[in-house]
Amino acid sequence: MGSLWLETTTLPDYGPLEKSLNTDVLIVGGGLAGVLCAHRLTELGVDCVLVEAENICGGVTAHTTAKLTAQHGFLYRTLLDHFGRSGAAAYLEANLTALERYRTLCQRIDCDFEERDSYVYTLDDPKAAQEEFSALQELGYPATLERQLPLPFPVAGAVRFPDQGQFHPLKFVRGLLPGLTVYAHSPIRKIRPGYAITDQGHVVTAKHILICTHFPMLNRWGSYFIKLYQHRSYLLALEGAPALPGMYVDNAQGGLTFRPCGPYLLFGGGDHRTGKAGGGWSELETLAQRYWPKAQVKYRWATQDCMSLDGVPYIGPYSPSTPGLYVATGFNKWGMTNSMVAALLLGDLVTGRDTPWAKLFAPNRSMLCPQLFSNLISSAADLLTPTRPRCPHMGCALKWNSQEHSWDCPCHGSRFREDGQLINGPAQEGLSPK
Ligand code: FES
């Protein structure tokens, strides 16, 4: 029983890179962000090559809830407070533009696209819903404040974004791939400004390199190992649960998420920091049994998201000292629209166009915020924990995940199978035999 998306679609199986080559833009990482970047650059007439370590879109893209919305939790009040009106407006405009571009592309791609309203609710904090609604009024966005939702429990308040969307992410990707130059099963082992080298020793030279590898693979620049951490969350596809009209998510960490999907209800949650206790399918299955006793679990899957420190992704130059290297990461569980923002923004940067969003998403913006100090304290504790096994990334103590039978790293989110094989980076290798 795996991901609904993977089990209902087949993507082309691209072969590996078998020779050195030269291109204008190399894109490293074939998840949705990488594919969208390749598609955008090809549309702009730029010569580009996409290289993926494993299968195209086999990671986060294959394990998402696939909601297309500019509503990312109760975020806009926080953005107004932290970045001012221009920053909050830029985030909203970027994500609404992304949504509109999906709407246009989905007209020609058979990918189950549907318009749906999006709702973020709170169980216990009506003031937070009111403040988010006020923030959106300040930004001139037609959100509405709701008091009741068709969920199996009462809510204390909710904010609605009208006319958002949902789709089948892998059917969408399948429609984007024709015409792109793609190599799979070709891990990149070294990246420097101007070139990258694969596991097999093939060299790709490029004026620009976009690193779209979920967690950026270069530790030496940009300090992404301080600026990012990872969360896991869990999903079930239920048959026999009532159809819901919209897409719903709790603003609280660990809360529940719902969206319709053909004959199924996608029911998820249990979000927790990778390597820490919390969540899991069993908790969701217990709740599903309570809410809809006749429903049956048809698919179940989990995903892993890169979290930025201030709620805004890092999209732009990799660091001030790596000319020609760019990054797109830290989508904070909202990777569908933020991947599209990355494709539009990086497409503009690579082709020398002006973009009003560059300042907000700039990866080298100030990171002095409470989450930074919380991450530093937590990482120091996990580095000093004396247990084994240790993570090959930077040496933190791994924690056993009994739900998924994996060794998980609480510092930056690397994961390993029971036999030590690497599942998720930023580690680049598996565990050594004892
Ligand atoms: Fe960085 Fe484990 S992922 S130390």
Mutation choice for ligand 1 from 412, 416, 429, 431, CB with most ligand atoms inside 8 A: 412
pLDDT of residue 434: 59
Q: Is 108 helix (H, G, I), strand (E, B) or coil?
A: coil
pLDDT tens per residue across span 181-228: 999 999 999 999 999 999 999 999 999 999 999 999 898 999 999 899
Q: Is the peptide bond before 389 cis (omega within 30 degrees of 0)?
A: yes
Burial class (CB in 10 A: 0-12, 13-18, 19+), 139: middle
Please write the tens of the pLDDT for every residue from 16-31.
Answer: 999 999 999 999 999 9
Q: Which atom of ligand 1 is nearest to the CA of 425?
A: 3
Q: Which tokens hold the place of 66?
A: 């696939």
Average of pLDDT values for 240-254? 95
| CB-ligand 1 contact for 88 (6 Å cutoff) | no
What is the whole-number distance in angstroms between the Cα of residue 359 and the centre of ligand 1? 29
Output the CA–CA distances (angstroms, integers) from residue 188 to 26, 71, 195, 334, 371, in the order listed. Answer: 11, 34, 11, 26, 31
Token look-up 């590996």 returns 16
Q: In terms of C-beta density within 10 A (0-12 exposed, 13-18 middle, 19 or more buried), how is residue 252 classed?
A: middle
CA angle 185, 396, 188 (to 5 degrees): 20
Ligand 1 pocket, residue 226 CB under 6 Å: no
DSSP string, 400-418: EETTTTEEE-TTT--EEET
So what's the pLDDT on residue 276?
87
Q: Is the pLDDT of residue 248 over 90?
A: yes
Query: What's the pLDDT tens digit per position in 95-106?
Result: 999 999 999 999
User: Can you tell me the distance from the alpha carbon of 38 to that of 18, in angstroms, rounded to the nearest whole number?
Assistant: 20
Residue 17, CA distances (Å) to 201, 212, 230 in order = 10, 18, 30
**Pick from 239, 231, 331, 241: which is nearest to 279 by CA?**
231
Q: Concatenated DSSP letters for 12-54?
A: --PPPP-S-EEEEEEEE--SHHHHHHHHHHHHTT--EEEE-SS
State which ligand 1 atom lies nearest to the alpha carbon of 382: 4
CB 260 within 8 A of CB 383: no
Residues 6+ away with beta carbon under 8 Å from 397: 382, 383, 385, 386, 387, 388, 390, 391, 410
Single pTM value for the model: 0.96
Query: Which of 218, 391, 422, when mutated, tests ligand 1's pocket best, judged by the most ligand atoms within 8 Å of its CB?
Result: 391
